Amino acid sequence: MGKGRVLVWFRNDLRLHDHVLLHEAAKKNKEILPVFCFNPLFYGKSPINTNRTGPFRAKFIIESVKDLREGFKKLGGTLIVCHGNPEKILPELVQTYAIDEVIVHQEVAYDENREMDLVERELWKKKIPLTSYIGHTLYHKQDLPFPIKDIPDTFTIFRKKIEKESAIRAEYPMPENFAFIPVIDEGKIPGLKELGISNIRKNPASCMPFEGGEKVALSRLNHYIWETESILSYKDTRNALTGVNFSSGLSPYLSLGCISPRRVYHEIKKFENENYSNDSTYWLIFELLWRDFFRFMFKKHGNRYFVKSGIRNAAPIYFEGEEQRFESWKNATTPNRLINAFMKELKTTGYLSNRGRQIVASYLIHDLKVNWTWGAWYFEEFLVDYSPASNWGNWAYLAGVGNDPKEIRIFNPEIQARKFDPQNKYSDFWNNLV
Ligand SMILES: Cc1cc2nc3c(=O)[nH]c(=O)nc-3n(C[C@H](O)[C@H](O)[C@H](O)COP(=O)(O)OP(=O)(O)OC[C@H]3O[C@@H](n4cnc5c(N)ncnc54)[C@H](O)[C@@H]3O)c2cc1C
């Protein structure tokens, strides 16, 4: 019999490995009740009337939740899945299962923070504490060589300092024994329809053909590093526009926490020790630092990333008629074929290469002169790997109101096409799609 009963509230940490919450619960010898809530807040409308979550990500979340439930079942427990407001549901579960503590991973963006605050407030009325832990980044916040408020706003300065002065922690070991609280009703995992989302068939040419969940995430990592050794050429291939192995394909798994960034890091280190290390093996870690950087920047600057003036308080000027130009961008009917190809890929697969994202974002901002936040909202709907800090941080960066030390950064689509799609193969493929 455990010493207490803890509700483990899963959000964007849909895995069993390297999981601080599971580790803490086991360490304290507590019985656990794992719970995931589909919060309608994240399935509503944005201020510009786009959907907060589109079909590709919703499907990926559903698959990841299913996989986590299966993972718990193999260990003798289950995952309770609910559809509704966590601030209502969690206190009810606390009552039903005589829980004495709720634990959760800390997030960095407004809605996620508010979601947690609302739950905390309701639990407090029942004198039940909500304890939050850090666990989404590669570097632990407490190991940074500066307090959050003093983190440099320039990536290179941030990176050099942490690489020199901070270390990456070991993974949390998987608990040896899980003590599960017997569950009365595990709840049905909603389908797209129940979440109010119409299904779209993903184009089979997608660079991201993978299913959600920890199982697939770990096998994808293995495939990319060990089976194909694609990691050895990552630095040279990462700017490609299409294919399945030009980059790691880990982003949706990292965004939903199906894989921990520390697992990726330690696996790369193992590969480097046992096989080879080169610029490419390092570069994947380098990119993970961008992910950390934007998360820490969100902690520092908060909601300013969601407004047009960004963290710089200087917004570009817009011209009349931006609604129409925004529509042409979304609908892939701009005068530029490469842009249209990218926008078609995004809309029919939920994924776009990093280079593609940079080019279409720059085009919307600098060529079409449209409010960049609209583009960010649109990405939020369609990207399978959407994560607030990475999306809004990158958009603000390209709009010149974020963390780019350069005043202005423009990706000229003609030059980009000559460089990355010289035979128009990519462009032709997506433009010829009906
Ligand atoms: C306008 C714009 C919006 C973006 N929105 C998102 C988003 O919502 N979610 C997201 O995960 N990434 C976002 N990115 C970053 C990047 O495009 C994707 O992480 C990457 O293309 C995902 O493919 P991959 O996993 O194969 O990447 P890889 O090249 O294999 O990189 C490995 C990992 O490093 C991280 N990473 C790489 N580049 C960046 C970057 N520029 N910023 C932050 N993290 C990075 C990601 O976690 C990625 O999975 C955005 C970039 C731009 C320009």
Q: What is the SS3 assignment for 91-134?
A: HHHHHHCCCCEEEEECCCCHHHHHHHHHHHHHHHHCCCCEEEEC
Side chain identity at residue 342, one-letter code: F
Beta bridge partners of 105: 133
Which residues contact residue 351 at a Cβ distance below 8 angstroms, ignoring those fewer than 6 apart? 56, 206, 207, 208, 345, 383, 384, 385
Report the pLDDT value the prediction gives residue 283, as an integer from 0 to 100. 98
Half-sphere exposure of 186 (CA within 13 A, CB side): 15
Ligand 1 atom closest to 248 (CA): 30
Among 10, 50, 38, which residue's Cα sits nearest to residue 391?
A: 50
Atom of ligand 1 nearest to the CA of 358: 53
Cα 64 to ligand 1 centroid, rounded to whole Å: 19
Domains along the sequence of the chain with CATH: 1-135 (3.40.50.620), 138-168+215-301 (1.25.40.80), 307-431 (1.10.579.10)
The distance between the two most distant Cα atoms of the chain, rounded to a whole number of Å, is 68
Residue type, 227: E
* The pLDDT value given to residue 408: 85
Q: So what's the pLDDT on residue 321?
A: 87
1 C-beta neighbours (distance < 10 Å), count: 5
> Looking up tokens 């129409």, which residue turns up?
324
Report DSSP letters for 32-95, one per residue: EEEEEEE-GGGGSB-TTS-BSS-HHHHHHHHHHHHHHHHHHHHTT---EEEES-HHHHHHHHHH
Strands (E), 126-203: 130-133
Atom of ligand 1 nearest to the CA of 254: 47
The radius of gyration computed from the CA coordinates of the chain, to the nearest angstrom, equals 22
Those residues with Cβ within 8 angstroms of residue 433's Cβ, 6 or more apart along the chain or in another chain: 203, 344, 348
C-alpha 193/C-alpha 178 separation (Å) is 34
How far away, in angstroms, is 179 Cα from ligand 1 center?
A: 37
Q: Token pair of 210, please?
A: 């993978």
* Assigned token pair, 373: 């936040």
Whole-number Å distance between alpha carbons of 211 and 65: 11
Ligand 1 centre distance from Cα of residue 99 (Å): 38
Burial (CB < 10 A; 0-12, 13-18, 19+), residue 138, is buried
* DSSP H helical ranges for 102-213: 110-125, 155-165
Specify the pTM.
0.97
What sign results for the dihedral spanned by CA atoms 224, 230, 233, 238?
negative
Q: Angle of helix 214-222 relative to helix 261-274, nearest 10 degrees?
A: 20
Q: Whose CA is nearest to atom 26 of ligand 1?
A: 249
Check: CB of residue 279 under 8 Å from CB of residue 235. Answer: yes
Locate 354 and state its tokens. 């990093």
Distance 6 CA to ligand 1 centre (A): 34
CA 393 – CA 376 distance, rounded (Å): 10
Ligand 1 center from residue 315 Cα (angstroms): 24
CA of 249 to the centre of ligand 1 (A): 9
CB atoms within 10 A of CB 100: 15
Alpha-carbon torsion angle 348, 351, 353, 354, nearest 10 = 130
The token pair at 128 is 């039940």
Cα 417 from chain centre: 28
Question: End-to-end CA distance of the chain, in Å?
Answer: 61
Residue whose Cα lies nearest atom 17 of ligand 1: it is: 354
How far apart CA 320 and CA 326 sit, in angstroms, is 12
Ligand 1 pocket, CB under 6 A: 238, 247-251, 254-255, 284, 287-288, 290-291, 294, 353-354, 357-358, 361, 379, 383, 385-387, 390-391, 394-395, 398
Q: pLDDT digit of tens for each residue in the chain (434 aa)?
A: 447 999 999 999 999 999 999 999 999 999 999 999 999 999 999 999 999 999 999 999 999 999 999 999 999 999 999 999 999 999 999 999 999 999 999 999 999 999 999 999 999 999 999 999 999 999 999 999 999 999 999 999 999 999 999 999 999 999 988 999 999 999 999 999 999 999 889 999 999 999 999 999 999 999 999 999 999 999 999 999 999 999 999 999 999 999 999 999 999 999 999 999 999 999 999 999 999 999 999 999 999 999 999 998 776 667 788 999 999 999 999 999 999 999 999 999 999 999 999 999 999 999 999 999 999 999 999 999 999 999 999 999 999 999 998 878 999 999 999 999 999 999 999 999 87
Nearest-CA residue for atom 3 of ligand 1 = 391
The neighbour count for residue 205, using CB atoms within 10 Å, is: 13
Residue holding tokens 């280079």? 355
Do residues 343 and 383 lie in contact, with contact meaning Cβ atoms separated by under 8 Å?
no
> Residue of the nearest CA to atom 20 in ligand 1?
354
